[in-house]
Amino acid sequence: MLVLKKLNHKDFESTQALQLVKCLLEETLKQDDLELANLTQTPSIIVFEAAKVGNSQFLAELICCYPDLIYQFDDDGHSIFDIAVLHRYVDVFNLIYEIDLTGEFVATCEDKVQLNNMLHLAAKLPHPSRISIISGEALQMQLELLWFKEIEKIVQPSFREKKNSNGETPQELFTQDHKELLKSGEQWIKDTANSCMLVATVITTIIFATLFSVPDGNSSDKGIPIHLKETWFQVFAISDAIILSFSSISILMFLSILTSRYTESDFLESLPFKLMVGLSTILVSIVTMMVAFSTIILLAYHDRLNYATMLTTVVAYVPATLYVMLQYPLLGDIFCSTYYSRFLFKPSKPMF
C-alpha cells in the first residue's frame, strides 16, 4: 500500500472546500457495493484536471484516498506527474518526493503517441501563460534549464539519451524547442547590460574627475587638501574610493556579459550571477555617490547652510532614488531566480 507523507497545509485544511472534498470522498469509500475499479475511475477524471491547473493540495487528498490513481494515465498516456512537468507545476511535481516513485515508476513511463519519457516532456516549451510567470527571457530560460536538470536526476540514465518517435533525444528536443527563447534571452540580457554599463561608465568618469578636484582646493604651501583633517572630507574620500571600485566592477561584469558565448548552460548560473553582481555594485555606487555629494555640500557651505542648499541636496537624491527603485525589483527577481530556485524542488524522505 502506498502511503503519502502528511503535508503541512494548515491554511488549506481550514477551508470549507477541502472539508467538503473529504466528506465526499469518505461517503464514496463507504459505498461497499461499488467495485474498486469504479472507485478509481470517477476520481481519475478529476485528478487529471486538478493536475492541469496545479491544485497540489487537492491532488494530495485524492491520492491519500485513492493511491492507485498515480498509476493511471490519460488518453495521451500521461500520468499526473507528466502533466505537472508539461505545465510546470512545481507543487504537483514535488508530490513525487512525498511518494516513493522516483525509481521504478517515473523513470520508466513513456506516452503512447510520440514515445516521450518525462525528460522529453521537460524539454518541451510550455504554454506562454506558464513560462511568463517570471519576467525576463533570460530568467525564463534559466527556469526551463532548472526543470530539465531536475528531471534529468530522477529518470533512468538510459532515458537521457533515448530517442522518441521523431528520433530526438531529450537534449535535442530542448535545444530545438527553446531556440527562440534562447535568442530572446540573449537579446534581453544584452540590452540590460548595455544600459547599465552606460550608467556605470558615466559614474566612473565623474568620480575619476572628482578625485583631482577636491572641495576648496589644496593649500598653497604644502599642496595638500585644505579640509584633509576634517571628518566630512574623510567621508568624501572614502566614498569616492568605494564609488570608483564598485563602478569599475560593474563595468567589468557587464563587459563580461556582452562578451559571453551565450550557450544554454550560461543561462543557468553564469549570466544571472554576473548580471546580479553588476546591478548590485552599480546600485551601491549610486547610493555612495549621493553620500559623496552631500559631504561636498557640507564642506562647501558648512558655515552658511540655508534652506536653498538643503533643498538642492534633497533634489539631487531624487534621480538616484528613482533609479534604485526602478532597478531593485529586477535585482530581486534575479536573486530569487538564481538562489531561491535551488530550493524549488524539495525532495523529502517518504513514509511507509
Q: What is the pLDDT of residue 351?
A: 40
CA dist 34 and 321 (Å) reads 68
Cell of 85: 512537468
Q: Are 278 and 203 in contact (CB under 8 A)?
A: no
CA dist 152 and 163 (Å) reads 15
Distance between the two ends of the chain, CA-based, in angstroms?
8
Q: What is the pLDDT of residue 352?
A: 38
Cell of 28: 464514496
Q: What is the pLDDT of residue 33?
A: 45
- Give the pLDDT confidence of 255-297 residue by residue, as tens digits: 999 999 999 999 999 999 999 999 999 999 988 888 888 887 7
Residues contacting 319, CB < 8 A, separation 6+? none
The ranges of the chain with pLDDT < 50 are 1-14, 32-37, 39-40, 351-352
Q: What is the pLDDT of residue 324?
A: 79
Q: What is the pLDDT of residue 133?
A: 87
Task: Name the maximum alpha-carbon separation found in the chain.
Answer: 108
| Nearest one of 238, 228, 234, 229 to 207, comparing CA atoms | 238
Q: What is the pLDDT of residue 55?
A: 84
Q: What is the pLDDT of residue 125?
A: 94
Check: pTM over 0.75? Answer yes or no. Answer: yes
Tell me the DSSP string of 244-286.
HHHHHHHHHHHHHHHT----TGGGTTHHHHHHHHHHHHHHHHH
Tell me the DSSP string of 291-317.
HHHHHHHHHHSTTS--HHHHHHHHHHH
CA dihedral 78, 79, 81, 84 (to 10 degrees): 50
Cell of 33: 457495493
Angle between helix axes 36-53 and 16-29 (nearest 10 degrees) is 160
